[in-house]
Structure 1
Amino acid sequence: MSDDGGIGKDLLRRRLVTISRADCVALDAADPLKDFRDEFVLPEGTIYLVGNSLGAPPKTASAAVTRVVEDEWAGRLVGGWNAAGWFDLPETTGDRIAPLIGAGPGQVVVGESTSIAIVKAVSAALRLRPGRRVIISDLENFPTDRYMVQGLVKGLGDYEIRDVRGSEGLAGALDDDVACVLLSEVDYRTGDRHDTAGVTARVQAAGALMIWDLCHSAGAFQVDVTAADFAVGCTYKYLNGGPGSPAFVYVHPRHQNATEHLLSGWHGHAAPFAFEPFYRPAEGIRRFTVSTPHVVSFAALNASLDIWERVDLSQLRAKSVALTSLFIELVEELCAPYGLTLASSRDPERRGSQVSFLHPDGYPVMRALIDRGVHGDFRAPDLLRFGFAPLYIRFADVYDAAVTLAEVLEKEHWREERYQQRLTVT
């Protein structure tokens, strides 16, 4: 990639660009988070704008996994459950995630997947509102959120889903039949962000319980989940826990001993090693565990949390706003003639750490962009998504990404036949 981003000076001369690459390099030099980039593995020549899908690995992750396999597993065998603290990983790791979402000790537990966490949270909420039979689900929620709720309703019977579009749809949907509301704090497609405090207050004023999906929030900006009743989230996006790393569930302290969820697994039993024939839930947050923790996956996640313990979340948010705002400005200046439409909010207060653009040929455009070292992703039918992980994305990366996107569009690289073929994972 050249100093001008790889497309030469001719295009830049023809476009009004209000910030230069040198300006971006200067911003990087003054960035208080700049040293964190060196703690992640990023292939040479890659601008990785997919932290909203799978975060880059910490350089310490490989050694952490090796230590578990070679020292703890090979060295201690089954003794690792006691000596290495494996059995308590869901709770000890939950306490490390808690500050990242505004929660306290004993309020977050880690294990299984986001899909399972949704079942735990929603089923527990339903039991707290036995006279109410409606679950409100956003039509814009990530599909697994909706599918798991649909499966719950089908399995439990006598419940119904009331669909809304965004928090704006709640006004006519909240009534005395609503047991709980499940919304994503950040829309996975557009990156737009809900007013969590305001929405939570409205839902609870109607007598319902509020459940937030934080998959595109945790690690992207400061989160305050303490007013909510439940929250769920993954750890493999902005939290850099690795593919398949375990999810988390937050449960407000007032609910922890007042309800049970549907999945009464052995790990959540009050006395697992008493091997009793009937389920008896543990006290506190541990009753929201289900099954044996995936110890090797926890190792990589905890390596990442070693980094997160040193991050100033206010600085993280400030940089996120600056990165996303710069990208919008540059793309709209450089790519104006080529059919891109901003799908994300222009207001940074209403935006997570993601920017999305619409293009009728979004899939081949993204394929061509990736081949030129700028990695985003595509969501059907026409959405190009770019996620900005402030710990390792630089302002110069933003500049180069926007200029390379302009090259792909101007020179129509995306029309090549090889980019028209859909891969399994888009």
Structure 2
Amino acid sequence: MSASIQSIRGFADILPDRTPVWRFVEDTFRVLLESYGYEEIRLPALEKTELFARSIGEVTDIVEKEMYTFSDRNGDSLTLRPEGTAGCVRAAIQHGLLHNAQPRLWYAGPMFRHERPQRGRYRQFHQVGVEAFGVEGPALDAELILMSGRLLQALGLDDVRLELNSLGSSEARAAYRERLVAHLQAHADQLDDDARRRLETNPLRVLDSKNPAMAGVIESAPSLLDHLDGASADHFRRLCAMLDAAGQPYHVNPRLVRGLDYYGRTVFEWVSDRLGAQGTVLAGGRYDTLVEMIGGRPTPAIGFAAGIERLVALVEEAGAAPAPAAPDAFLVVADEALESEAVSLAERLRHAMPGLQLRLNTAGGSLKSQFRRADRSGARFALVLGEDEAAAGAVTVKDLRGERPQEQVPVARLADVLGEARQSD
């Protein structure tokens, strides 16, 4: 016997006992996002490597270490998407969606990063992303943040907190970077290897370090909020006022940065303490320069992304996950000679009752074994087709979960009886 083939490390199967909670999360996002006027866009998983190097930043961890990049037969460098924003912006430019318009888009699907698998983070992971274009003022920031909070609330996640910051303009960040680097260099003996590397490439990411040995150095670093340009400071003040007026609690965290180069001004995260060191549930911010970086006209934009694996884990822990759907009925075939009639009957019922979840026994077996299968399936009713029933043009209906008396029902009335039973539950 050949050795069995296992899945690739960090690429997880999602088994049937867990897909209901995945659908719950995805459907909750879809319904609520569409209620805010967002339209779905479906994006390819494979893009030109240049797209991510140009947008994310060539010296970020994602581009340097984590991307799945390869050359195809034509010698073109291609990459499995590590995040969704760059591809969404590319599509919006390519297809003219930004021309005299302010599109609001959402997408969902797998992303790929070659990093150490851990709880809630895999090498193939799934995200829901939201992108809104063409609006510069803080009202859109406020609505998008409040919408993201409503999404988490709709999933039953009440123990998450909102953290908020502003990264200001690129000019303000450049001036702040000089002060930050000077501070970090003065404490170089307290920096870990990762921080020393980032000191030369992306020093703002040092502020995001989770190394407790560096907490003092980070806490004593100059605050970016004290170095904002006037327009960004006013934008942030007005945003905070809008969140206050909406009654939305938040914590201003001057150490909050995002890991991608394209962010500026507003950044935010929803955080949970139930996910260990990787506590971010949903995160996003403004990226007003990205459209131009990718080749479009200057266009303000803001968005966020949420990891579905993490949301699923939190929903399950909170006890908000829906129970797996059980079939409405299980059709037991008492005689092999009646299999053809049973298949036909099952199809007539499905036609008469759209949405009926009916499982047909196709594996043979004794009546006793078929009833065991019916019980294990969780079905409400067992429908029994035997010689007597076939001769009478009827089916025996046995209630497996309630106290409805067993009865023989004419096939012509079967859909009505099942429908009445479903309405009375």
TM-score (norm 1): 0.22
Q: Which has the higher strand share?
A: 2
Q: Relative contact order: is structure 1 or structure 2 higher (C-alpha 8 Å, sep ≥ 6)?
A: 1
**Bigger radius of gyration:** 2
